[in-house]
Amino acid sequence: MSPELMALILIGGLVVFLALGVEIAVSMGILASLGFILFSHDPQVQIPWTAWATLNSFVLLSMPLFIFMGTMFANTGVVRSLFNAADKWIGILPGGLASSVVVANAVFGAMCGSSIAAAATFSAIAFPEMEKKGYDPKLALGVICVGGTLSVLIPPSLILIVYGAWEEQSVAKLFAAAMIPGIILATLLVITVMIMALMNRSLTPQVAHYTWRERFIAIRDILPWAGVIALVLGVIFGGVMTPTESSALGAFLSLVMSAAYRQMSYKALKNSLFTTVKVTAMIGFIIFTARLLSFVFQASGLTQSFAHIMSGLALGKYGVFTVIVILYLVLGCFLDTFSMMLLTFPFVMPLLTSLGFSPIWWGVTFVILAEIGVVTPPFGLNLFAIHGVLPRYSVMTIAGASMPFLIPLLVMIAIMVAFPDLALWLPGVLYG
Helix, strand, or coil (residue 77): coil
- Distance (Å, rounded) from C-alpha 275 to C-alpha 396? 27
CB 249 within 8 A of CB 17: no
**H helices of 23-95, where?**
24-39, 43-55, 62-76, 79-90
- Distance (Å, rounded) from C-alpha 296 to C-alpha 291? 9
Q: DSSP letters of 368-430?
A: HHHHHHTTSSSS-HHHHHHHHH-TTS-HHHHHHHHGGGHHHHHHHHHHHHH-THHHHHHHHHH
Helix axes 115-132, 79-90, angle to 10 degrees: 60
- Distance (Å, rounded) from C-alpha 283 to C-alpha 294? 16
Helix, strand, or coil (residue 80): helix
User: What is the total count of domains within the chain?
Assistant: 1
pLDDT of residue 415: 95
From residue 171, alpha-carbon distances to 63, 104, 161, 284, 398 in Å are 11, 24, 6, 17, 33
C-alpha 120: how far from chain center: 14
From residue 38, alpha-carbon distances to 10, 163, 295, 296 in Å are 12, 28, 12, 9
From residue 254, alpha-carbon distances to 129, 195, 270, 288 in Å are 25, 36, 14, 29
CB 382 within 8 A of CB 371: no
The pTM (predicted TM-score) of the whole model is: 0.83
Element (H, E) at 1: none
- Domain hosting 148: range is 3-431
CB 343 within 8 A of CB 306: no
Q: What single-letter DSSP state applies at residue 215?
A: H
For the chain (432 residues), the mean pLDDT of every run of 10, in chain order, is: 68 79 81 75 69 77 84 78 79 80 80 76 83 86 87 84 88 92 92 89 76 81 83 87 88 89 87 86 82 75 69 78 88 78 83 89 92 80 83 88 91 94 93 80
